[in-house]
Amino acid sequence: MGRGFCYLVAVVQCFRRKVFSWRLSITMDAASCIEALEEALAKYGNPEIFNSDQGTYLHAYTSVPGARTAIARYLIFYNPVS
């Protein structure tokens, strides 16, 4: 990976702190997030609740709604303050 930054994306089951899938990338883009999410969903199925830290990977899309739409095809978002 040479010099510079590396970005880690992890899909974690919070209660057990188990890492379901992860990706290491030299760019901060949504593709690695989607890949990690797709792998976790393929192995473990759809969760009841999916919580995202709303990190900078969402900025790889032109808008946050665009990112949410891409990810929403897999999940129903849970946001108690909405």
Output the pTM of the full model. Answer: 0.60
Average pLDDT, the chain: 73
CB-count burial class (<10 Å; 0-12, 13-18, 19+) for 18? exposed
Query: Residues 30-64: pLDDT tens digits?
Result: 788 888 888 988 898 877 777 776 555 555 555 55
Q: Hey, where are the domains in the chain?
A: 7-72
Alpha helices (H) along the chain:
30-44, 64-72
Residue type, 6: C
Residue with more model confidence, 74 or 10:
10
Say what percent of the chain tops pLDDT 70: 61
